[in-house]
Homo-oligomer: A and B are copies of this chain.
Amino acid sequence: MSLLDFLVGPPIATWKEGSEKIGVAKGIPVFGLDALGSAAYGPEAALTLLIPLGLAGLNHILPLTFGIIALLGIVFFSYRQTIAAYPGGGGSYTVARENLGTFPGLLAACALLIDYTLDAAVGISAGIGALTSAIPSLHPQTLWLCLSALLILTLVNLRGVRENGALFMVPTYLFLVCMLVAIGIGVAKTALADGHPVPVVAPPSAPAVVAAVSAWLLLKSFASGCTALTGVEAVSNGVQAFRDDRTKNARHTLAVIIAALMIMLAGIAYLVKAYKIVATDPNGSHYRSILSMLLGAVTGHGWFYYLSIGSILLILIFSANTAFADFPRVCHFIAEDGYLPVSFADRGRRLVYSEGILVLATITGLLLIGFGGITDRLIPLFAVGAFLAFTMSQAGMVFHWRRERGRGARRSMLINAVGAVSTGITTLIIIVAKFSEGAWITVLAIPSLLLLMYGVRRHYNKLIREIAVHTPLPEHRDPAPLMVVTLTGWSRVGKEALRTAMTLSDEVKVVHVIEDRNDKVRSPDEVCDRWTELVEKPAREGNLPVPELVVLKSPYRFVVTPIVNYILKLSKENPDRRVITVIPELMERRWYYYFLHTQRASLLKARLLMVGTDRISVLNIPWYLKHS
């Protein structure tokens, strides 16, 4: 236990819940890391697809970014309304389920869960990838670095929301400050230079034009840029994690996250055009990230450059934290409705949903190991889930307002309707644009997960139907059970088991297995030879019911099998009685002493549980050896 205390901290009492809640300052790192971090890869993803257009591609980045920012605004207003309407936590799952029905709710949830899993794996590996390209000597350790980062994230999240927020505050705000300062300087320089600033460190010149602009290319670029929106939904699921007034705190957190993200996206788009920065081939040897070139162009390669790059690295690595914050919450809501195992609904020792954290960590770990810590191929799978969830959520809100009526409901409905349609269209764009690159995997994975969830619920339903009962106890006692004591020899352990059995029922049978050698001469055997003297006589003299000795001959030298068969037969012959097998068991205090024993007691218990029936029970009489 003390190891667990050390790793994740001592348990927190339920009534201390309030003191574990967070405000806006901690809410931003807990729920915003993924959204903010996407400023580092969203524009990059869009620009990379524009490489074939050369310098001309930059003409398209402003309109594309404008589209993405508009979407972001729509999503913001939508979730802002949702947070107020669902102060108990109103993620896409809850909203879609309450307003559209179970299936749309689960559809949104599955999409989100898959997205978060990818998010966690890709976030960690992208961060470590950026680190190893900065320090190439670390490259051979990629997988270990990824798994270490995963371990840190898991432990920090198991420790609870407050500590998690405190830890990630420094890198989050450092990143925000660096980005805003750089954008501010860049915009000022551009304005002073009449829109044609001179870069401090010049970016590489644009490659040759190899393609003409096409709608398809712009569509793909837009779909890629939309990854900037993943993670925006996290706040709405986590409203309960905030201090009172929780709605206000959650809304402010969401507002800050989205405003910062919008400024960064707009600033980056404006500056890449002003400084004529085009993306470089990510698989080429001269690859440099957009932000690295931008920072160099605006501020040169001084200490500020390295500080900013460092903060970007940290943000990328820890952007997976949003998945860890939200995935367990989504699982919790689904489990409460019976579509996931109940344990997802329980809060662990630190008041967080530990099971969800551990499951996410396990799946992420397997993905990282499976891909050797380099998860590029997973990136196209992204964003489908997030946008599907946005769409379901906003469609749900439309129905919510229709029911609500009242003042302003009409306007709110309109906002959500616009949102639902635009994110819906974006979802289709993303699926079409990225289908062959891997989005089909998400499209297949969602129904599989859905089927699993319906299976879980069906199982629980059957279970409840089978064990539910609301009638009181009967007014009579059931007949006393038949006791079967397994005795290998006459020892303190066996004697104690027999004495206990005799206190519980008047019908006690003692089974004793001997080897069947098919010859006349029986080897001496204390239990058989001294039975009268050891058991029968004292029982008769004490006026107690006399236990019956049942000798089982074992031709194959098995011990467990004959006993199990005897008990099954006895139970069949007495269909109205419970049969309790009393198993004496030697308990050693040190594990390695168990090698000295045959473990027949454990084996017998396991076999009986495996092949037994409702009327067959096991009572174990442990005997703890003192000397060891």
Contact = CB atoms under 8 A, between A and B. Distances in A.
Interface band, chain A: 35 or more
A69 B473 CA distance: 86
Interface in A574-596: 578, 580, 586-587, 593, 595-596
A609 B622 contact: yes
A469 B459 CA distance: 51
Interface string A120-145: 00000000000000000000000000
Given A342-B597, A474-B538, 6 more contacts: A14-B556, A343-B598, A349-B556, A463-B625, A466-B627, A481-B503
Contacts of A477: 502-503, 542, 544
Interface of A: 11-15, 341-343, 346-349, 456, 459-460, 462-463, 466-470, 472-481, 490-493, 495-496, 498-500, 502-505, 515-519, 533-535, 537-539, 541-542, 544, 555-558, 578, 580, 586-587, 593, 595-598, 609, 612-614, 616-628
10 contacts: A14-B515, A14-B555, A349-B556, A468-B492, A472-B535, A475-B538, A616-B622, A617-B620, A617-B621, A618-B620
Contact of A542 (B14, B475, B614): B475
A499 B480 CA distance: 10
Given A347-B557, A538-B473, A542-B474, A624 B613 contact: yes
Given A342-B598, A491-B468, A496 B11 contact: no
Contacts of A614: 496, 622-624
A469 B498 contact: no
A596 B341 contact: yes
Number of copies: 2
Contact of A478 (B478, B500, B505, B593): B500
Contacts of A499: 473-474, 478
Nearest to A476: B542
Contacts of A558: 11, 349
A627 to B, nearest CB: 4
A518 B17 CA distance: 11
B456 A627 contact: no
A518 B13 contact: yes
A14 B514 CA distance: 12
A333 to B, nearest CB: 17
A15 B519 contact: yes
A529 to B, nearest CB: 12
Nearest to A505: B504
Contact of A473 (B11, B14, B535, B597): B535
Given A469-B495, A481-B500, A627-B466, A556 B13 contact: yes
Per CB-CB distance, the 3 closest pairs between chain A and chain B, nearest first, are A15-B518, A475-B542, A11-B556
Contacts of A467: 491-493, 586, 623, 625
Nearest to A531: B472
Contacts of A505: 504
**Max chain B CB contacts within 10 Å: which of A472, A502, A544, A587?**
A472
Nearest to A589: B610
A226 to B, nearest CB: 35
Contacts of A580: 619
A463 B627 CA distance: 8
A466 B625 contact: yes
A539 B475 CA distance: 6
B517 A595 contact: no
A54 B520 CA distance: 69
A156 B621 CA distance: 40
Contacts of A472: 533-535, 537-538
A476 B538 CA distance: 8
Contact of A15 (B466, B492, B516): B516
Given A467-B623, A538-B472, A503 B516 contact: no
A240 to B, nearest CB: 15
Nearest to A460: B596
A475 B467 CA distance: 43
B466 A534 contact: no
A427 B566 CA distance: 56
B469 A492 contact: yes
A85 B349 CA distance: 69
Contacts of A460: 596
B468 A593 contact: no
Nearest to A624: B614
B516 A13 contact: yes
A517 B619 contact: no
Nearest to A515: B14
A365 B628 CA distance: 32
Contact of A466 (B519, B539, B626): B626
Contacts of A616: 622
A498 B473 contact: yes
A456 B595 CA distance: 10
A535 B541 CA distance: 39
A627 B538 contact: no
B12 A556 contact: yes
A109 B161 CA distance: 62
Contacts of A535: 472-473
Contacts of A626: 466
Contacts of A11: 556, 558
A452 B314 CA distance: 53
B500 A479 contact: no
Nearest to A613: B624
Contacts of A473: 495, 498-499, 534-535, 538-539
Contacts of A537: 472
A601 to B, nearest CB: 11
A346 B595 CA distance: 14
